[in-house]
Structure 1
Amino acid sequence: MRQKVIVVSLVILLLFLAVLPAQGDGELVLTPLGTYETGIFDGGASEILAHDPETQRLFIVNAEDVSIDILNISDPVSPALVNRIDATEFGGSANSVAVMDGLVAIAIEAENTQDPGSVVFLDIDGNLLNTVEVGALPDMVTFTPDGQKVLVANEGEPSDDYTVDPVGSISIIDISGGAEAATVTTADFTAFDEQIDSLKAAGVRIFGPEATVSQDLEPEYIAVSPDSATAYVSLQEANALAVVDINGGTVSNIVPLGFKDHAAGLQTYSFANLPSLGTTAAGQEITLGGFSGLYFEGFNPANGNLIFVTHPDRGPNAEPVDTDGDGLNERPFPLPDYQAKLIRFEANPATGTAEVIEQIGLTRADGTPITGLPNLEGESGLANADEIPIDLQGSALDYDPFGADMEGIVIAPDGTYWMVDEYRPAIYHFDEAGALIDRFVPEGSNEGGVEVGTEAIPAVFAQRRANRGFEAVAYEDGKLYAFIQSPIDNPDVEGDDNSKASVINRIVEFDTATGTTTAQYAYIIEGGASDKIGDAVSIGNGEILVIERDSAVGTEALKKVFRISLDSATNLNDLDDSVVGPDGTLESLDADGLAEAGIEPVQKTLFVDLVAEGYLAGDKPEGLALIDENRIAVLNDNDFQLLGTFDVETGLLDDNPEPIQPVLGIITLNNALDASNEDGGINLTSWPVKGMYMPDAIATFEANGQTYIISANEGDSRDYDGFSEETTVGEVELDPEAFPNA
C-alpha cells in the first residue's frame, strides 16, 4: 500500500547529479549540478520521472497536484520548465509516468480510488493523444522493450473502512497500431481464487478480511523480460511475485519469495547412534567417524530433513612412529582391512541430531574393495612415495595401489561421485554404486612399474608433502577444482622444507568430460600457523568458498572460510616449466614475487570466521557444503576419536581422555538486522526472527543468457480504519531466552 507522507520542506526540489569515475577506494562520487523547484508545498510532487534521451526532456508526475512537468535538461546545470500539464480532468492523482520513442504514458487513479483508473497518452510536447481505462489504482506504468505494449500495475487497494476491495490486476495496452488505436487486455488473479489454501501453504500472504486471492493481491511494480514476452510483477504485501504472459494476457504463476533468517549464525547437530567401524586385533571397537568432505544433496521430501554425503578419509590411523628402529617412521593402521566408503546422513533441524542412513563401500571396477592403505613404496619425503604401513603390533602391511585417503567429494549432475585424495594426489570417479570408473593421477606416477591410475595431472603435483595432496574439491559446469592441502615441495627435498616455507598453494582445474587438466591457479594461503586447506564448494560464476585452517583448537584457533574468484587469475598452464614445473620457482615466491612475475593469484576475501561464529569442533573442519544462498554447512574430521598413540607390544590403542565428536554446523550467513529506531544509531545484529522481502520496485537484467530479477525490498503493512495488521513489539510476549534484554 502507498503511504501518504506530509512534506515538511518549503519546496520540493529535483536534484541533478554528476556521477564521477570511481576513486581509488572504489566509491562513486555524486556531485550536484542543478535543481528544479516545483513550487508545490505540502503535497506529493516530483515523485516519479521518466527521461526521453532524444529530446533530453524529463516528464515528472506531481501526484496530488495531478499534473505533469516537462523539463528540458539539455543543460543539466539549468533545467528549464517547458510545460506543466494539468491532468485533473482525468482523475484524482498522477501516480507514474513512462516515455518511449516520443510517446508519454501517465497512470492516473480515479477520484474514488476503488474505481477504474486510466492511462493518458501524450506526445513529447504534452498534447493529448488518447485515454484508456485500466484497473483500480494504477500505480506504475512501463513500456515493453520492443515498444509494442504498455503495462500497468493496478494495485486495487481497499477503501479505508475495508468494505470495498477491488481486484488487483495488470493492464496490457497494445499500442502496436499507435496510441490512438490502443486496446486494453486485463490480466487479473481470479483464476487463482480457488487456490487460496495452496497459495497460503506455499508462503503467499493472503490475509485481508474475507478477501479472495484476486482482491488481496496488489500489483506494485513491473519488470519486463528483454524479449518482451514475460512480465514480473511485485506483490509487495503478499511477499510474492506474479509472472505474466504478456502475449497471452494472463497471469501464469504466483511465486512466494520466502523469508530472510535474521537468527544467530550457528546451529550444530550431533551424530546419534554412529555405527561401529570395526574391531582391532586386540579387541577394541572403533566408531565410524573421520569425516572429510561434504556435499549437500537436498531435503527429504517426507520430513524436511537435510541430506548430506561425506566419507571417512583413509580409516583409523595412529601417529607415525619408528617401531623397528630403522630411523624411518611407519604409519600404523588399526583396521588394515578398512574399506573406503560413502556415508549418507540426515540432519534433523527439530532435534539437532544427524543420523547415518546409508553406507556405500567403494571398490575397483572389478569389485575389489578399496582400502585406506598407502599406494607406493619410495624414498620418504620425495615425489611418488608414501608412508610405510604397519598394523598395531608393528607388522608390515601390503601397499594398495588404489588405496585412498579421501578428502573432498561432489556429486555430478549424472549422479556419479567425484572425490579427491591426499596420497598421489588423485581424482577419483565412481559410479552411483561406488564402483571405480577411473582414477586420475600425476604424470609419471606409473613409472615405478605399479599402475595407480590414469596419468592426467601435472607431474609437479607428485611432489606434495606426504598426506597433503588434494584436500578439497569444488564442481561447476563440468569442471572440477582440486585444491592441494599445503604448498607443493618444489624443488623437492627430503624434509619438505620448501613446502613448509611457501605460501603458494595450487588449484587444478580438471575437465570431467575429457579427463584432462585444463588450468592451474595460484592461491596464497594465510601462512604461519594457518597452513592447510580444509574443503571447498562452488557458489557459481567462477567463485568458490574455501576453508583455511591451522592445527589448533579453541577460541584462538584459525579456521576461516574465504571467498575466491578465478576470473582474473593467471592460468599457470600457460607458463614455462621453469616457473611451474618440477624444480620451478613458483613456490619460492610471495605475493610481491607473484606480482613482479606477472602472475595473478586467485582473488580472495574473508567470508566467515568459523571460530567467531562458534564452530569449535576440534582442529579439522574438513567438510564444506552450500545449502542455499544464506546457509553453509561445516563438518569436522574427528580422527575416529583416537588419541593417536598405542602400545606396540599389546597392539592396544591408548585411551583418549577427551575424544572429539563429529559435529555438523549449519551457519546462516550475515542477515543482521537493526531492530530499533530508538537507540540513536545503526546497530546491526542477529535476532531469532525471520523477515520478508516484500519488494516494491523490481527490474530485470540479463547475464550469460540468463534473466535475473533485482528487487528493492521496502517492506510494508496494511493499516486502515477497517483493518490493520500492525502491532508493536511491546504488545508481543517475547521468549526471554531468545530476547534476554527485552
Structure 2
Amino acid sequence: MRRTVPRPTTSPSRRRVALLLTAALAAAAVPGLLAPAAASAAPDATAAGAHGTRTAPTLVARATLAADHLAAGPPSGALATPANGRQGPFAGQVVPGFSGVVDAGDGTFWALPDNGFGTKANSGDFLLRLYRVDPAWQTRRGGSGELHLTGHVQLRDPDGHVDFPIQREGTAQRLLTGADLDVESVVRAPDGTFWIGEEFGPFLVHVSATGRVLAPPVPLPGATSPQNPSLGAGEQPTVRASAGFEALGGLRDGRYLYPVLENAYLADPDQSRRVVHEFDTRRGRYTGRTWDYRTDQVGNLVGDAFWVRGHELLVVERDNLDGPAAAVKRVYRVDLRREDADGYLRKELVLDALAIANPDGIGAGDGYGTGDPFRFAVQSFETVVRLRDGRLLLANDTNYPGNAARVPGTPDDTEMVLVELRRTR
C-alpha cells in the first residue's frame, strides 16, 4: 500500500517566502545574484546508502550521439550564436542534448531536448520533440557506444490550447517551437501521456503520447519569468530567465507532480533556496504544499528531480561550469518528511558525478574526464533517472554548439551513462 506523504509543518522560513512572493508581484525584483560562497569541498567518492551502507558509484555503460547529428526536419539554427567552429543555419534539426529522459521500460528511452538555442529570439526554427532513443551501450564487454534515435513525437497544438501567440500561428498543426516554450523536464503518466516542465512561464504542459497538447499550459501562481507572455508593461518578473521548471519529479500515487524551480525567487533573501511545489494532476492545480531545498552554494542550480518512492526524490545539483573548472555535479536524496531545524529538506549524497569509478575504462580517450575516475564534467548535467534495477542514468544538455567540456574547441556530444551504486560495506 502506498503511503501518503504527510503535510509538513510550515516553517518560519516558508512563511517568509510566501510573504516575499506576494510582495514581489508589486515590487521591483532584486537585481543580480548574491555573491557566491566559496566552492564547497568535494564529497567523499563513496556515498551513503540505505541502512548505513556505503556505495561506490561505478560506471557500467556509456553511449553518445555525435554533437553535429541532425535529425530529419527543416533547417534550424539560423540565428544560433556561433561557437566552437559551428555556425547555422544547419541542414536539419539539431539535437542539442537532453534536458529530460523517461525510461520506456523496454531498454529504450524518451528524451527531451530543450528549446534549442537558448532564447525565444533565436529558436523559432527549432521544433520541440520527444525522441525515442535506443542506446547501443559500451560496457566492459564492448559495444559501439552509440545512441540511436529511432523516432520522435512532435509537440503540437492543433486544438489551440496554448492561449498565447505562437511561432506557427494560423497553421493547421501549430507545431511548437523553441520560440513558444522552453521545455526542460518530463514525466510519463500511467496512461502514457507526458507532463512537461517549462521555463518561459514557468508552465506545466500536458501532452498526449503522440505530442498533442491536451489542455492550456498551467502557470505557477505568483511565478513569472521575464519571458512570460502574460507579463504586462511595467510588471516585474518574480523568477529569473531560464530558471523555471528544470526539474520535475513524479508521479507519486500516479497523481502528484513535484516541479522544482532551478534557481531562487528574485526577492528571496536566501538565494540558496530552491522551492519544491506539488501539483495535483487529477484536479489540474497546485495543492499549495511546498518544500525548501537549499543548495550547497548560492550559485548552484537544480538540474533535475526523480521520484524514487513514497516520499523520496533524487535531486541533481550542479554548478554552471564545465571541464576542469567544474566542481559541483551531484545527486542528492531528499525525504519530504525530513527537514532540518531551519525548515530545509535534509540532503543525503547519492552520487558525486565528478568521481565515478571506471575500472573498465569505458569511454576512455574521449576527452577530459573519461578516464578513471570518470568525471561527468559537463556544464548542463540535467538528467537523472533511477532504473528498475537501481542503476542511475545520467545525461547532458549540450547547449549546442556552445559547450566543449571534453575537448576544447569541439562541441560536446550528447552522453548517456549508467552508474551502478556498488556497496562497499
| Bin for the TM-score computed over the shorter chain | 0.5 to 0.7
1:143-186, CA deviations, whole angstroms, 9 ceiling, x for partnerless residues? xxxxxxxxxxxxxxxxxxxxxxxxxxxxxxxxxxxxxxxxxxxx
Deviations 1:440-482 (A, max 9, x none): 1033789x9x9769xxxxxxx9611111011101112111000
Read off the aligned partner of 1:660 and give its amino acid letter.
D
Aligned to 1:65: none
Query: 1:351 maps to which residue?
Result: 144
Tell me how far apart the structure 1 counterparts of residues 291 and 265 of structure 2 sit (CA, whole Å). 13
- For residues 238-387 of structure 1, what are the structure 2 equivalents within 5 Å? 264-271=58-65, 274-276=69-71, 278-281=75-78, 283-285=89-91, 287-299=94-106, 306-317=107-118, 332-333=121-122, 335-349=123-137, 350-366=143-159, 367-373=173-179
| AA of the residue aligned to 2:110 | V
Displacement, 1:617? 4.8
Alignment pair present for 1:514 and 2:257? no
Contact 2:303 2:382 in 1 (8 A): yes
Q: Is the 8 A contact 1:425 1:462 kept in 2?
A: no
Inter-CA distance 279–541: structure 2 relative to 1 (3 Å threshold): closer
Q: Secondary structure at the match of 2:379?
A: coil
- Correspondence 1:534 to 2:303: yes
Q: Which has the higher contact order (CA 8 A, sep 6+)?
A: 2
Rounded to whole Å, the distance in 2 between the matches of 1:315 and 1:274 is 14
Q: 1:315 to 1:662 in 2, by over 3 A?
A: same
User: For residues 264 and 485 of structure 1, do their structure 2 counterparts lie closer, same or farther at Cα, with a shift above 3 Å needed?
Assistant: closer
Q: 1:512 to 1:452 in 2, by over 3 A?
A: farther
What's the offset of the Cα at 1:336?
2.1
Deviations 1:171-227 (A, max 9, x none): xxxxxxxxxxxxxxxxxxxxxxxxxxxxxxxxxxxxxxxxxxxxxxxxxxxxxxxxx
Tell me the equivalent position of 1:419: 196
Query: Matched residues in 1 for 2:230 and 2:103: separation?
Result: 30
| CA distance, structure 2, for counterparts of residue 504 and residue 409 of structure 1 | 22
Q: Secondary structure at the match of 2:99?
A: strand
Return the alpha-carbon distance in structure 2 between the equivalents of residues 608 and 283 of structure 1.
38
CA distances 1:603-628 after superposition (whole Å, capped 9, x unpaired): 21101101111242521111111112
Contact 2:57 2:419 in 1 (8 A): no
Q: Secondary structure at the match of 1:432?
A: coil
Pick the structure with more strand per residue: 1
Match of 1:407, SS?
strand
Structure 1 pair 287/617, CA: closer, same or farther in 2 (3 Å)?
farther
**Alpha-carbon distance between aligned partners in 2 of 1:469 and 1:360, rounded to the nearest angstrom:** 23
Shift of 1:660: 1.0
Q: Is the 8 A contact 2:186 2:194 kept in 1?
A: yes
**CA 540–365 in structure 1, closer or farther in 2 if over 3 Å, else same:** farther
The offset of 1:642, in angstroms, is 3.3
Q: Which residue identity lines up with residue 471 of structure 1 in the other structure? A: E
| Equivalent residue, structure 2, for 1:380 | none
Aligned to 1:7: none
Q: Which of 582, 590, 607 is the matching residue for 2:350?
A: 607
Q: Deviations over 1:389-445 (max 9, x none)?
A: xxxxxxxxxxxxxx2111111100010000101111111110111111121103378
Q: Is the 8 A contact 2:246 2:261 kept in 1?
A: yes
Alpha-carbon distance in 2 for matches of 1:263, 1:619: 20
For the pair 1:564 / 2:334, whether they are aligned, the reply is yes
DSSP-derived class of the 1:536 partner: strand
| RMSD over equivalenced CA pairs, Å | 3.0
Q: Which of 161, 183, 192 is the matching residue for 1:406?
A: 183
3-state SS of paired residue (2:386): strand
Q: Which residue of 2 aligns with 1:549?
A: 318
Quote the Cα distance in structure 2 between the aligned partners of 1:512 and 1:561. Answer: 26
Of the three residues 223, 229, 239, the one matched with 1:464 is 239
Q: Superposed, which structure 2 residues align to 1:17-416 within 5 Å?
A: 264-271=58-65, 274-276=69-71, 278-281=75-78, 283-285=89-91, 287-299=94-106, 306-317=107-118, 332-333=121-122, 335-349=123-137, 350-366=143-159, 367-373=173-179, 403-416=180-193
Using the size of structure 2 for normalisation, the TM-score is: 0.66
State, as a whole percentage, how many aligned pairs show the same letter.
25
CA gap of 1:634–1:342, structure 2 versus 1, over 3 A, is same
Deviation at 1:351, TM superposition (A): 2.8
Cα distance in 2 for partners of 1:486, 1:263 equals 27
Displacement of 1:554 after TM fit?
3.0
Aligned residues of 1:409 and 1:418 also touching (Cα < 8 A): yes
Work out which of the residue numbers 428, 439, 443 in structure 1 matches 2:221: 443
Aligned residues: 309
User: Which residue does 1:722 correspond to in 2?
Assistant: none
CA 1:617–1:348 in 2, change beyond 3 Å: closer, same or farther? farther
Question: Using a 3 Å threshold, how does the CA distance of structure 1 residues 264 and 291 change in structure 2: closer, same or farther?
Answer: closer
Structure of larger gyration radius: 1
User: Contact 1:404–1:421 at 8 Å: present in 2 too?
Assistant: yes
Distance in 1 (alpha carbons) for counterparts of 2:377 and 2:409: 16
Question: Post-superposition shift, 1:279?
Answer: 4.1
Match of 1:667 in 2: 419
Where does residue 295 of structure 2 map in the other structure?
A: 525
The two structures have a TM-score, normalised by structure 1, of 0.39
Alpha-carbon distance in 1 for matches of 2:126, 2:245: 21
Deviation at 1:287, TM superposition (A): 3.0
Q: Deviations over 1:310-357 (max 9, x none)?
A: 211111247xxxxxxxxxxxx751x52222111110112343221111
State the alpha-carbon separation in 1 of the partners of residues 273 and 403 from structure 2: 31
- Residues 356 and 408 of structure 1: CA distance in aligned 2, closer, same or farther (over 3 Å): same
Structure 2, unaligned stretches of length 5 or more?
1-54, 79-87, 138-142, 160-172, 357-373
